[in-house]
């Protein structure tokens, strides 16, 4: 195989010197169908693989986007036995005897930096008996379509490059390491500042993971280990995992701990856990210092998962086939966006909300269906039908302040945004997203290339071999090792935190956060500031600021994460059951809201509202969690939190 390609030049060092961190070289594949020559280039856009004809013309080209790549590893094959199969489908760099290589004296030993940790050969590595090759595995999650009818989804793809231009393993590993470093550099430059480690030893700052083992159907631990850890490891993202021990654990943790070590906090659970994280942060006296430097993320393991669905929807990221994978990729993306938070003043206390405030039908369903929790997400459908048959109405008064301009960011509030110093702006409006965030069909990985080059693809992390297994970076051995710095914690091991948290919570009932613009809840609303009122019998009031309340509930299609707007949806008593049924049925597609408000259904874009129920009892929810029944008022705090978003 090698001899036939001896004449090929090996210009990688020249191109590297000329273009800084770009690297390129010629690789070969040898398959039963025949040998092929590839020009492989890594630059700011990702990997470009060009298959060349014997005459040097490009026959086919494939691109793996830098945005789809999570990381890479340099390795050495482990067993000689497998080496015997090396003739098949290996991407290998130029022949050691190649005139071009020898003539240029192209031995990089002195030119390179100290080897990175990926190049450290283990004892086992020395069992390879004579194979001096080094391998670079590049892990990517590319968008694919299984067929025209199916939705786009991400598939794990491993690009394997074999380096064997030199006589010794060390020299080949240095070359592989040079590519690895170039890859890391390209990935690093796409990180936002808050994710970058302050010292050069570490590429990324640490991630704090809070996992609720009781969320959803109780599989969060398993989901994290099976589907999230591998991605974090591939991306070399160090993390500390804490498993929650009880309700309010995350509030205590976030409000009492020193958080300086972490750049982001990830909830592995549902919206309730995320709600605790936000509220814990806003119970800190130093919230204004902490919030801008801490991005928040979620791995959807709850029963609702409205936030995770809304983030994926807002960034055109496929959700349904692999929601956890998409969220894990979001967590390592190194990108964040400001997110509105709503302050909710209840009679006795204030809470902060990122998703919704509800009174009436939907809140009843949310809370009352807890008793059939074992049904998972289906519990909402079953209980909705039950409540529809046994329809209730509630009497009350709803006062609201409309956003001043319907389709632009809120003046008043927006002008005095409580955006904190040092927060970095980032596109959040779906219609303003940079074109690069939307994937055109030309960016999807063509299947034919995946077959030709040693790009190994696995579905659901189960490796599906397309060529000899020893080449596979997708084998579990190569990607299931853990990052040494990652730490697993549970409260049981954490006596210092136990005592501290208990003492601190005892003394603190007060929330911090930006000052309120509203009068106290027991004071009348001002006459002259544009407050409007709806009064009477209501089937429900639901105030929403994300597009989705759950995976299948596209409740406020026009909501944006940082638009300073609460979508206040009112359904009046007297609505017919068929009308209500059609409203509820169409919630999954987002076609339930009227274009123009009518007698029974109203959609109001507001920046603040006050609810005064006239009944003595009922259910009120904030982010799907029940709060005390009674009057409340809410105001939007535009962009005060940061949420992690896909690349
Ligand atoms: N270890 C624990 N044991 C019992 N409850 C817990 C524990 N950790 C957290 N909780 C509570 O569980 C509540 C619900 O958790 P979470 O939101 O993660 O799941 P979910 O309710 O299934 O999902 P969703 O909120 O999306 O419907 C949280 O409000 C939190 O107070």
Query: Is 293 close to ligand 1, i.e. is its CB under 6 Å away?
Result: no
Q: How far does the centroid of ligand 1 lie from the alpha carbon of residue 358, in Å?
A: 18
Q: What is the mean pLDDT of residues 223-234?
A: 96
Task: Select from 247, 309, 370 the residue to mutate for testing ligand 1; criterion: most ligand atoms less than 8 Å from CB.
Answer: 247
Query: Is 221 close to ligand 1, i.e. is its CB under 6 Å away?
Result: no
* Angle, vertex CA 75, rays to CA 195 and CA 484, nearest 5: 45
Q: What is the mean pLDDT of residues 20-37?
A: 80
Q: Is residue 96 over pLDDT 80?
A: no
Task: Select from 273, 299, 624 the residue to mutate for testing ligand 1; criterion: most ligand atoms less than 8 Å from CB.
Answer: 273
Fold type of domain 358-408+513-644: Tumour Suppressor Smad4 (2.60.200)
Minimum-distance ligand 1 atom for the alpha carbon of 215: 19
Minimum-distance ligand 1 atom for the alpha carbon of 216: 22
Task: Tally the residues of the chain.
Answer: 647
Among 66-70, 142-146, 327-331, 467-471, which is the least confidently predicted range?
Answer: 467-471
Q: How far does the centroid of ligand 1 lie from the alpha carbon of residue 211, in Å?
A: 9
Q: What is the mean pLDDT of residues 446-461?
A: 36
Q: What is the mean pLDDT of residues 224-236?
A: 95
Element (H, E) at 487: strand 487-490
pLDDT tens column, 150-176: 778 899 999 999 998 899 999 999 999
Work out the percent of the chain whose per-residue pLDDT is above 70: 71
Q: Is residue 490 over pLDDT 60?
A: no
549 φ, ψ to 5°?
-90, -20
Q: How far does the centroid of ligand 1 lie from the alpha carbon of residue 14, in Å?
A: 56
Q: Is residue 82 over pLDDT 70?
A: no
Query: Is 624 close to ligand 1, i.e. is its CB under 6 Å away?
Result: yes
Q: Crossing angle of helices 306-314/271-281, nearest 10°?
A: 90
Two tokens, residue 177: 């390491």
Task: Select from 210, 248, 269 the residue to mutate for testing ligand 1; criterion: most ligand atoms less than 8 Å from CB.
Answer: 269
Task: Select from 209, 210, 212 the residue to mutate for testing ligand 1; criterion: most ligand atoms less than 8 Å from CB.
Answer: 212
- Decide if 577 contacts 388 (C-beta within 8 A): yes
Q: How far does the centroid of ligand 1 lie from the alpha carbon of residue 247, in Å?
A: 7
- Decide if 306 contacts 355 (C-beta within 8 A): yes
Q: Is residue 14 over pLDDT 80?
A: no
Query: Is 304 close to ligand 1, i.e. is its CB under 6 Å away?
Result: yes
Q: Crossing angle of helices 271-281/249-256, nearest 10°?
A: 30
Segments of 530-600 assigned E as strands: 532-544, 566-572
Q: Distance (Å, rounded) from C-alpha 179 to C-alpha 645? A: 28
Two tokens, residue 210: 């809070």
Give the pLDDT score at 85.
Answer: 36
- Decide if 523 contacts 544 (C-beta within 8 A): no
Q: How far does the centroid of ligand 1 lie from the alpha carbon of residue 364, in Å?
A: 18
Minimum-distance ligand 1 atom for the alpha carbon of 623: 25
Q: Distance (Å, rounded) from C-alpha 586 to C-alpha 224? A: 33
Residue predicted with more confidence, 633 or 17: 633
How would you classify the pairing of strands 620-622 and 532-544? unpaired
Give the pLDDT score at 186.
Answer: 93
Q: Which residues does residue 566 pair with via DSSP β-bridges, in sequence order?
A: 606
* CB neighbours of residue 121 within 10 Å: 16
Among 272-286, 345-359, 392-406, 430-444, which is the least confidently predicted range?
Answer: 430-444
pLDDT tens column, 252-294: 999 999 999 999 999 999 999 999 999 999 999 999 999 999 9
Residue predicted with more confidence, 362 or 91: 362
Among 70-79, 325-334, 516-525, 535-544, which is the least confidently predicted range?
Answer: 70-79
Task: Check if CATH label 3.90.76.10 holds for domain 196-334.
Answer: no
Q: What is the largest CA-CA distance in the chain?
A: 90
Give the pLDDT score at 529.
Answer: 86
Q: How far does the centroid of ligand 1 lie from the alpha carbon of residue 521, in Å?
A: 29
Measured by CA distance, the residue closest to atom 16 of ligand 1 is: 270
Q: Distance (Å, rounded) from C-alpha 382 to C-alpha 368? A: 11
Q: How far does the centroid of ligand 1 lie from the alpha carbon of residue 216, in Å?
A: 8
Query: What is the pLDDT of the chain when averaged over all its residues?
Result: 77
Q: How far does the centroid of ligand 1 lie from the alpha carbon of residue 255, in Å?
A: 18
Work out the percent of the chain whose per-residue pLDDT is above 90: 55
Give the pLDDT score at 12.
Answer: 42
Q: What is the mean pLDDT of residues 69-96?
A: 56
Give the pLDDT score at 381.
Answer: 84
Between the ranges 61-65, 339-343, 404-408, where is the mean pLDDT highest?
Answer: 339-343
Q: Distance (Å, rounded) from C-alpha 424 to C-alpha 439? A: 24
Query: Is 177 close to ligand 1, i.e. is its CB under 6 Å away?
Result: no
Q: How far does the centroid of ligand 1 lie from the alpha carbon of residue 583, in Å?
A: 29
Two tokens, residue 50: 């060009």
Minimum-distance ligand 1 atom for the alpha carbon of 275: 29
Q: Crossing angle of helices 495-506/249-256, nearest 10°?
A: 90
Query: Is 303 close to ligand 1, i.e. is its CB under 6 Å away?
Result: yes
Residue written as token pair 């109203």: 602
Q: Distance (Å, rounded) from C-alpha 536 to C-alpha 397? A: 7
The interface pTM score, or ipTM, of the predicted complex is 0.96
Two tokens, residue 377: 């997400």
Q: How far does the centroid of ligand 1 lie from the alpha carbon of residue 376, in Å?
A: 13
Q: What is the DSSP string of 158-215?
A: EEEEEE-SSSSHHHHHHHHHHHHHHHHHHHHTTS-GGGB-SSTT-SB-EEEEEE-TTS
Q: Is residue 349 over pLDDT 90?
A: yes
Measured by CA distance, the residue closest to atom 28 of ligand 1 is: 272
**Residue 535 three-state SS:** strand
Among 317-331, 337-351, 474-488, 586-600, which is the least confidently predicted range?
Answer: 474-488
Every domain range in the chain assigned CATH 2.60.200.40? 358-408+513-644
Confidence of residue 399 (pLDDT cuts 50, 70, 90): very high
Q: What is the DSSP string of 235-304?
A: TT--EEEEE--STTHHHHHHHHS--TTEEEEEEEE-HHHHHHHHHHHTTSTTHHHHGGG-EEEEEE-SS-
Query: Is 165 close to ligand 1, i.e. is its CB under 6 Å away?
Result: no
Q: What is the mean pLDDT of residues 480-485?
A: 31
* CB neighbours of residue 492 within 10 Å: 9
Contacts of 98 (CB under 8 A, 6+ apart): 5, 6, 7, 8, 10, 165
Q: Crossing angle of helices 306-314/323-331, nearest 10°?
A: 70
Every domain range in the chain assigned CATH 3.40.50.10330? 196-334
Residue 550: is it exposed, middle or buried by C-beta count within 10 angstroms (0-12/13-18/19+)?
A: buried
Minimum-distance ligand 1 atom for the alpha carbon of 243: 1
Residue written as token pair 């100290």: 114
Q: Distance (Å, rounded) from C-alpha 170 to C-alpha 183? A: 20
Query: Is 623 close to ligand 1, i.e. is its CB under 6 Å away?
Result: no
Give the pLDDT score at 273.
Answer: 97
Residue written as token pair 């856990």: 273
CA atoms within 13 A on the CB side of 231: 27
Give the pLDDT score at 217.
Answer: 83
Three-state secondary structure readout of 111-165: CCCCCCHHHCCCHHHHHHCCCCCEEEEEEEEEEEECCCCCCEEEEEEEEEEEECC
pLDDT tens column, 568-584: 999 999 999 999 999 99
Among 103-107, 315-319, 386-390, which is the least confidently predicted range?
Answer: 103-107
Query: Is 270 close to ligand 1, i.e. is its CB under 6 Å away?
Result: yes
Q: How far does the centroid of ligand 1 lie from the alpha carbon of residue 212, in Å?
A: 6
Alpha carbon 196 to its chain centroid, in Å, reads 17
- Decide if 38 contacts 52 (C-beta within 8 A): yes
Confidence of residue 379 (pLDDT cuts 50, 70, 90): confident
Residue written as token pair 């199916």: 150
Q: Is residue 225 over pLDDT 80?
A: yes
Q: Is residue 561 over pLDDT 50?
A: yes
Residue written as token pair 């086992």: 124
Between the ranges 97-106, 260-269, 414-423, where is the mean pLDDT highest?
Answer: 260-269
Among 29-38, 45-54, 314-323, 513-522, which is the least confidently predicted range?
Answer: 29-38
Confidence of residue 479 (pLDDT cuts 50, 70, 90): very low
Measured by CA distance, the residue closest to atom 13 of ligand 1 is: 272
Q: Distance (Å, rounded) from C-alpha 322 to C-alpha 327? A: 9
Q: How far does the centroid of ligand 1 lie from the alpha carbon of residue 626, in Å?
A: 12
């Amino acid at each position: 195989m090698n001899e036939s390609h001896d004449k090929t030049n090996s210009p990688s060092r020249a191109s590297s010197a000329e273009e800084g961190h770009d690297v390129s070289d010629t690789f070969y594949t040898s398959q039963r169908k025949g040998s092929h020559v590839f020009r492989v280039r890594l630059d700011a856009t990702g990997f470009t693989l060009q298959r060349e004809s014997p005459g040097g013309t490009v026959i086919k080209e494939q691109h793996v986007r830098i945005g789809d790549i999570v990381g890479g590893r340099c390795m050495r094959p482990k067993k000689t036995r497998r080496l015997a199969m090396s003739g098949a489908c290996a991407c290998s760099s130029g022949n050691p005897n190649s005139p071009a290589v020898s003539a240029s004296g192209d031995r990089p030993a002195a030119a390179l930096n100290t080897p990175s940790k990926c190049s450290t050969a283990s004892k086992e590595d020395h069992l390879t008996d004579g194979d001096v090759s080094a391998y670079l595995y590049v892990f990517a999650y590319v968008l694919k379509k299984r067929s025209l009818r199916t939705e786009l989804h991400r598939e794990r793809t491993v690009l394997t490059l074999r380096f064997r231009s030199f006589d010794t393993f060390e020299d080949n590993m240095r070359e592989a390491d040079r590519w690895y470093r170039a890859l890391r550099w390209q990935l690093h430059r796409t990180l936002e500042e808050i994710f970058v480690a302050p010292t050069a030893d570490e590429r990324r700052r640490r991630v704090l993971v809070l996992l609720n083992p009781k969320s959803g159907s109780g599989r969060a631990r398993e989901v994290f280990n099976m589907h999230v850890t591998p991605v974090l490891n591939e991306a070399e993202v160090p993390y500390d995992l804490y498993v929650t021990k009880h309700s309010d654990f995350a509030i205590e943790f976030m409000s009492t701990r020193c958080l300086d070590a972490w750049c982001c906090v990830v909830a592995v659970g549902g919206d309730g856990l995320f709600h605790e994280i936000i509220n814990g942060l806003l119970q800190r006296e130093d919230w204004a210092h902490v919030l801008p430097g801490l991005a928040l993320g979620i791995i959807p393991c709850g029963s609702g998962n409205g936030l995770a669905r809304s983030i994926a929807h807002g960034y055109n990221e496929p959700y349904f086939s692999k929601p956890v994978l998409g969220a894990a990729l979001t967590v390592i993306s190194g990108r964040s966006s400001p997110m509105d938070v709503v302050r909710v003043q209840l009679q006795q206390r204030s809470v902060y909300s990122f998703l919704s405030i509800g009174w009436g039908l939907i809140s009843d369903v949310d809370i009352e269906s807890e008793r059939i929790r074992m049904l998972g997400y289906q519990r909402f459908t079953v209980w909705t039908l039950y409540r529809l048959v046994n329809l209730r109405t509630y009497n009350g008064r709803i006062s609201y302040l409309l956003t001043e301009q319907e389709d632009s960011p809120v003046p008043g509030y927006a002008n005095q945004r409580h955006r904190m110093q040092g927060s970095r702006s980032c596109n959040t409006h779906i219609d303003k997203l940079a074109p690069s965030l939307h994937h055109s069909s030309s960016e999807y990985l063509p299947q034919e290339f995946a077959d030709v080059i040693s790009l190994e693809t696995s579905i659901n992390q189960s490796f599906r071999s397309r060529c000899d297994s020893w080449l596979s970076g997708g084998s579990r051995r190569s990607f299931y090792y853990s990052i040494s710095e990652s730490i697993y914690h549970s409260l049981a091991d954490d006596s210092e935190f136990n005592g501290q948290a208990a003492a601190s919570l005892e003394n603190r009932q007060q929330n911090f956060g930006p000052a309120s613009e509203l009068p106290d809840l027991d004071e009348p609303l001002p006459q002259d500031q544009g407050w409007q009122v709806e009064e009477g019998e209501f089937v429900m009031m639901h105030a929403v600021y994300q597009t989705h309340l759950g995976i299948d509930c596209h409740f406020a299609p026009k909501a944006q994460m940082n638009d300073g707007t609460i979508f206040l949806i009112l359904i009046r008593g007297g609505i017919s059951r068929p009308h209500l049924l059609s409203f509820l049925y169409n919630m999954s597609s987002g076609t339930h809201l009227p274009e123009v408000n009518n007698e029974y259904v109203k959609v109001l874009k507001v920046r603040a509202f006050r609810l005064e129920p006239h009944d003595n009892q009922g259910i009120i929810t904030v982010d799907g969690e029940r709060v005390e029944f009674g009057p409340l008022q809410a105001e939007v705090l535009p962009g005060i939190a940061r949420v992690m978003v896909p690349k």
